[in-house]
């Protein structure tokens, strides 16, 4: 019987296809669960990886008894479950007895292969407790020697010299264009990036941009160049990983798109609610900085995390991170930016960007990061958050469309970053 997923409280099932060098495996588990790849490996004595690199809807159901399948055993205690034959098809309800009969052949087994997401610990509510929570989490990793402070435990690469100079300059209230040009000129690669950025068709500046001073005065403005230069220079501290999730091949494209969307959202807001445009841009550029930090500082754990991202694309990333690492990339990223003395509003906004109802200091910037994330990932937005930042859903979606229309120019800008950082 075909049924709407909203009509009944029955559990919806998710199908994921895994494979290793010897064959394929179909796993079936409740949608409100996380697939435990480690449990699958223990049961099968094999190392499987997801076949599809990122599928939030799940994979289509392969006909029972035509491929090896493992089904979450707790489903047998459910009166009925909802299943679909195609990943985008309608749900059908079946009883647990019917499910058991359907998968009764020799290629099938019922095992504990998933975790109820309600039982996964959440990150601490207050950023002041982040260091303690991260340290406690790192203590679980036998490969890491735990010390008293986080910066002593992690092998954190030094902040690039250009970033140090720009941070110091940003704290100088008397600094002007000449001082900023002088600082950026000390890093020729960074200067070239800023000039090329301002020359991009995205900004449509007439004539040729020949210097950083031109970029500041004619196109981007003082604050934007300072924050853009800071974000680009900080990207040199870590390199995008080679073994990350296969749907996330270009860290910088995601970051630049986020920054541009943040810029567009701020411009659409009422004047009295707007945060600084440059700070909005920088926070968007650095929102996923914790992702780079995890990949560089904890490479073996990041590799495991990446496979869980792929297999559980239906779940928020912070749930997967809490289960695997016991802290989130927002926690680590914001701690690192705070440790490196970035402005308070930047790291605070990043820390609380997944908490739409955060009402502490710098809440507007945090809420904008939340809105940008939801827009770019096609997720529902809490309309009350839009009201709080002075936007409606039509304006927000128009900003997203404006960003998408510039995708060709954004790809060129990202290509420049990747070339410079190669």
Extract the tokens encoding 188.
């020729």
Topology of domain 127-155+238-421, per CATH? Hypothetical protein af1432 (1.10.3210)
Q: Ramachandran region of residue 285, left (φ > 0), alpha (ψ -120 to 50) or beta?
A: alpha
Q: What is the pTM of this model?
A: 0.88
Helix (H, G, I), strand (E, B) or coil at 19: strand
pLDDT of residue 4: 47
Q: Hey, what CATH topology would domain 2-119 get?
A: YbaK protein (3.90.960)
For residue 112, the model assigns a pLDDT of: 97
Q: What tens digit of pLDDT does each residue of 32-48 get?
A: 999 999 999 999 999 99
Give the pLDDT confidence of 44-87 residue by residue, as tens digits. 999 999 987 667 888 999 989 899 999 999 999 999 999 988 87
- CB atoms inside a 10 Å sphere around CB 208: 8
pLDDT 10s digits, 195-212:
888 888 888 788 888 899
Kindly report the average pLDDT of the chain as a whole number.
89
β-partners of residue 49 are 19
For residue 177, CA distances in Å to 181, 189, 191, 236, 302 come to 6, 19, 14, 24, 41
Contacts of residue 211, defined as CB under 8 A and 6 or more positions apart, other chains included, come to 181, 195
Question: Looking at residue 422, what is its pLDDT?
Answer: 58
pLDDT on residue 6: 47
Q: Report residue 202: phi and psi, to 5°.
A: -55, -40
Average pLDDT over residues 12-39: 95
Average confidence (pLDDT) over 220-229: 88
Query: Which of the four pLDDT bands, split at 50, 70 and 90, describes residue 187?
Result: confident
Give the model confidence (pLDDT) of 246-290 as tens digits.
Answer: 655 578 888 889 999 999 999 999 999 999 988 999 999 999 989
Find the range with the poorest average confidence among 255-264, 335-344, 379-388, 410-419.
Answer: 410-419
- Going from N- to C-terminal start, the domains of the chain cover 2-119, 127-155+238-421
pLDDT of residue 109: 95
Question: Sorting pLDDT into bands at 50, 70 and 90, what band is 8?
Answer: low
């Amino acid at each position: 019987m075909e049924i709407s997923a909203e009509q009944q409280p029955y559990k919806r099932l998710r199908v994921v296809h895994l494979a290793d060098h010897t064959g394929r495996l179909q796993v079936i588990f409740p949608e409100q669960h996380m697939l435990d790849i480690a449990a699958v490996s223990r049961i099968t004595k094999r190392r499987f990886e997801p076949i599809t690199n990122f599928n939030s809807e799940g994979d289509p159901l392969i006909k029972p008894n035509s491929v090896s399948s493992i089904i979450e055993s707790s489903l047998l205690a459910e009166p009925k479950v909802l299943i679909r034959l195609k990943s985008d098809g309608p749900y059908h309800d079946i009883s647990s007895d019917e499910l058991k009969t359907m998968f009764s052949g020799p290629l099938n087994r019922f095992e504990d292969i998933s975790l109820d997401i309600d039982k996964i610990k959440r990150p601490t509510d207050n950023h002041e407790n982040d260091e303690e929570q991260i340290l406690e989490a790192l203590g679980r990793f036998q490969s890491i020697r735990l010390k008293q402070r986080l910066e002593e435990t992690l092998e954190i690469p030094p902040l690039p010299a250009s970033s140090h100079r720009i941070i110091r300059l940003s704290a100088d209230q008397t600094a002007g264009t000449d001082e900023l040009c002088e600082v950026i000129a000390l890093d020729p690669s960074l200067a070239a990036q800023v000039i090329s950025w301002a020359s991009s068709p995205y900004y449509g500046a007439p004539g040729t941009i020949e210097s950083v001073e031109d970029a500041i005065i004619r196109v981007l403005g003082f604050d934007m160049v300072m924050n853009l230069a800071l974000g680009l220079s900080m990207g040199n501290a870590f390199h995008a990983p080679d073994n990350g999730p296969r749907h996330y091949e270009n860290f910088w494209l995601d970051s630049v798109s986020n920054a541009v969307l943040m810029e567009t959202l701020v411009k659409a807001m009422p004047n009295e609610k707007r945060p600084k445009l440059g700070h909005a841009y920088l926070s968007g550029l650095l929102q996923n900085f914790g992702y780079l930090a995890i990949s560089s500082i904890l490479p073996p754990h990041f590799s495991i995390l990446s496979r869980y991202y792929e297999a559980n694309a239906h779940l928020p990333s912070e749930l997967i991170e809490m289960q695997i690492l016991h802290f989130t990339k927002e926690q680590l990223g914001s701690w690192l930016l705070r440790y490196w003395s970035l402005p308070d509003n930047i790291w605070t906004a990043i820390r609380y960007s997944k908490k739409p109802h955060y009402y502490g200091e710098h809440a507007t910037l945090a809420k904008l990061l939340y809105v940008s994330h939801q827009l770019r990932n096609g997720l529902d937005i809490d309309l009350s958050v839009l009201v709080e930042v002075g936007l409606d859903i039509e304006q927000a979606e128009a900003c997203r469309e404006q960003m998408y229309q510039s995708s060709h120019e954004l790809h060129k800008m990202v290509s420049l970053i990747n070339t410079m950082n190669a």
